[in-house]
């Protein structure tokens, strides 16, 4: 059966209130014996009871996040400034001007010296093209993907004490790498999942796909009344998408994208509520690809010499701001308190009366939330989100620190931020947390959670060895 819509739930509540009012009326105007046998009363009561029963049978179970794990590569994969410079100078296609351009991008990016690069960068220069560039192979890309996925899932299953036999759904999202067999098949084979497991692969959705994968898992789990488990793996393999040309709009991705992977386990099993970290309150996805500017803001294509890369246009930050505002129009009524919605509505009316001389105020989203995982796409993206939402440095601190420590890990970035909150011990039971991410296309996704426990010091938290150094001044 389909879960009831918001309108159906409101009608059910109205019917229940009407039943109470009608019962009170009959009780005060009819003799007691007549009240029990009055046909209208019996019919109305029967309809209300049937509605309540249908609501109970079709109401979706709460979506619980049992736990999550973030992959932390080994120390010898750290991508320091020295490693970056050494690798870049091996590219015969890069001009001195482009090398200087990349240096400036890196130094202003907000990334530190502790981020991680894919394995092929550290391999001996034996596999080269005529130009002398190191060529990442399919083997390199698969190695990068498997290392992150297997490490994250191993840790997650160990923490949750969930047998692979219990997993009903596997969702793997990897924006720019889609091998055959699929990455979800790698997981099924590695953990010997049952034949009835349902697998899904998301690709080409950019940094928002981690949020979108969680939303997909929740929608799947809501369709069944059985207690089921969904394993969500959020990764990226940048080996085959490393750009070796000289187009500056495509060189930016080499400077900010780094290795990362996260795995999360969701369930509708009510018996695991005491073990779960969070409950999903709401999720919102908006797609703005109908606008050509948004559609082309981040685009994979070949340059004039045939090298494939992802071009980040100068319009990207403006597009992010514009579409964030559109996204908030959908999200705000669902999470903001009435006081903030009323204040915003008043400012809209006042702005129109003033003939456009004044602008509507931005609602205070932190009035409805305690914490926020801001998209860690880069320094400019974090600043744009802060500008649109009028966020303080305290709110954006986890995003800025995550960018410094791990770089832009694409779709898994919000889970590294989540690890920062827990390592700092800032989350308490009942706190609400908002995750927001942007993706190519152009897409915006939001997840709103409620914490079911206080933050814990997990042994596999990727921040454990450095959390005392943060926060620090990054820009």
In terms of Cα–Cα distance, which of 155, 151, 191, 154 is closest to 170?
A: 191
User: Which of 224, 349, 332, 325 has its CA nearest to residue 282?
Assistant: 332
Between the alpha carbon of residue 433 and those of residues 145, 218, 299, 399, 467, the distances in Å are 29, 17, 31, 14, 20
What residue segments make up the domains of the chain, in order of their start? 6-58, 64-278, 281-469
pLDDT at 132 over 60: no
Task: From 347, 339, 345, 241, select the one nearest 299 (Cα to Cα).
Answer: 241
The pLDDT value given to residue 41:
54
Q: What's the confidence (pLDDT) of residue 96?
A: 87
> What is residue 351's predicted lDDT score, i.e. its pLDDT?
75
DSSP 3-state of 128: strand
Q: Tell me how long the chain is.
A: 475
Look at residues 440, 436, 405 and name the one whose alpha carbon lies nearest to residue 236: 440
Give the least confident one: 87-96, 154-163, 197-206, 312-321: 87-96
Lowest mean pLDDT among 14-23, 212-221, 286-295, 355-364: 14-23
What does the pLDDT read at residue 52? Answer: 54
What is the value of pTM for the model shown?
A: 0.85
CATH 3.30.450.20 fits 281-469, yes or no: no
In the predicted model, is pLDDT for residue 126 greater than 50?
A: no
Residue 127: pLDDT band by 50, 70, 90 thresholds?
A: very low
Mean pLDDT for the stretch of residues 331-359:
81
Domain 64-278 has CATH 3.30.2130.30: no
Q: How does the average pLDDT of the chain come out, rounded?
A: 86
Over its C-alpha atoms, the chain yields an Rg (Å, rounded) of 26
| Domains 64-278 and 281-469 equal at CATH topology level | yes
Please say whether the beta carbons of 438 and 444 come within 8 A: yes
Query: How many CB atoms within 10 Å of residue 76?
Result: 8
294-318 mean pLDDT: 89
Q: How confident is the model at residue 59 (pLDDT cuts 50, 70, 90)?
A: low
What percent of the chain has a predicted confidence (pLDDT) above 70?
Answer: 84
The predicted model gives 335-359 an average pLDDT of: 79
Q: Given a cut of 80, is residue 282 above it in pLDDT?
A: yes
| Interval 205-227 mean pLDDT | 93
| Percent of the residues in the chain that have a pLDDT greater than 90, as a whole number | 56
pLDDT at 273 over 70: yes
Residues serving a catalytic function are: 207, 287, 371, 375, 404, 408
pLDDT for residue 114: 93
Rounded to the nearest 10 degrees, how much is the dihedral formed by the CA atoms of 11, 15, 17, 20?
-170
Mean pLDDT across the stretch 368-390?
93
- Rounded alpha-carbon distances, angstroms, from residue 232 to 7, 66, 195, 393: 30, 12, 18, 31
Task: Quote the pLDDT of residue 11.
Answer: 54
Mean pLDDT, residues 387-405: 94
Convert the pLDDT of each residue in 231-248 to its tens digit.
Answer: 999 999 999 888 888 888
- Which tokens sit at 437? 């991410």
Question: What's the rounded Cα separation, in Å, for the pair 283 and 280?
Answer: 8
pLDDT at 135: 74
Highest mean pLDDT among 157-166, 338-347, 375-384: 157-166
Question: How far apart, in whole angstroms, are the C-alpha atoms of residue 335 and residue 449?
Answer: 11
Longest dimension (CA), the chain: 99
For the ranges 5-19, 110-124, 296-310, 401-415, the lowest mean pLDDT is seen at 5-19
């Amino acid at each position: 059966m389909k879960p009831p819509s918001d309108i159906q739930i409101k009608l059910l509540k109205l019917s229940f209130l009407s039943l109470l009012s009608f019962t009170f009326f009959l009780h005060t105007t009819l003799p007691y014996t007549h009240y029990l046998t009055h046909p209208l009363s019996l019919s109305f009561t029967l309809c209300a009871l049937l509605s309540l029963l249908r609501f109970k049978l079709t109401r979706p179970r709460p979506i619980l996040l049992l736990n999550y794990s973030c992959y932390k590569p080994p120390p010898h994969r750290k991508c320091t400034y020295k490693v970056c410079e050494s690798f870049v100078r091996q590219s015969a296609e890069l001009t001195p001007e482009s090398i200087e351009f990349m240096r400036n991008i890196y130094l202003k990016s907000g990334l530190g010296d502790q981020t991680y690069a894919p394995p092929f960068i550290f391999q001996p220069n034996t596999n080269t093209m005529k130009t002398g560039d190191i060529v990442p192979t399919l083997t390199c890309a698969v190695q990068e993907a498997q290392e992150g996925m297997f490490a994250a899932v191993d840790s997650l299953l160990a923490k949750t004490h969930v047998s692979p036999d219990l997993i009903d759904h596997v969702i793997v999202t990897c924006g720019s790498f889609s091998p055959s067999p699929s990455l979800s098949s790698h997981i099924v084979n590695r953990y010997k999942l049952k034949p009835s497991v349902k697998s899904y692969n998301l690709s080409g959705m950019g940094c928002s796909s981690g949020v979108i994968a969680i939303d997909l898992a929740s929608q799947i789990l809501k369709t069944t009344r059985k207690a089921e488990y969904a394993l969500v793996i959020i990764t990226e393999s940048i080996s085959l998408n490393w750009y070796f040309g000289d187009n500056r709009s495509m060189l930016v991705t080499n400077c900010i994208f780094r290795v990362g992977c996260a795995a999360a386990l969701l369930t509708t099993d009510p018996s695991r509520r005491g073990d779960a970290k969070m409950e999903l309150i709401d999720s919102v996805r908006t797609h703005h690809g109908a606008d050509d500017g948004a559609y082309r803001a981040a685009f994979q294509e070949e340059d004039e010499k045939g090298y494939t890369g992802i071009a980040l246009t100068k319009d990207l930050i403006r597009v992010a701001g514009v579409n964030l505002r559109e996204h908030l129009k959908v999200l705000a009524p669902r999470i903001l308190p009435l006081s903030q919605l009323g204040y915003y509505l008043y400012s809209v009316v006042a702005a129109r009366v003033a003939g456009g001389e004044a602008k509507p105020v931005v609602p205070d989203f932190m009035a409805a939330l305690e914490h926020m995982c801001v998209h860690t796409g880069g320094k400019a993206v974090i600043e744009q989100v802060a500008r649109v939402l009028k966020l303080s440095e305290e709110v954006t601190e986890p995003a800025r620190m995550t960018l410094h420590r791990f770089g832009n890990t694409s779709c898994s970035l919000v889970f590294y931020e989540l690890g920062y909150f827990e390592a700092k011990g800032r989350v308490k039971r009942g706190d609400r947390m908002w995750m927001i991410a942007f993706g190519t296309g152009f897409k915006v996704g939001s997840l709103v959670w409620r914490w079911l426990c206080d933050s814990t010091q997990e042994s596999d938290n990727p921040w454990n060895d450095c959390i005392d150094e943060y926060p620090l001044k990054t820009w």
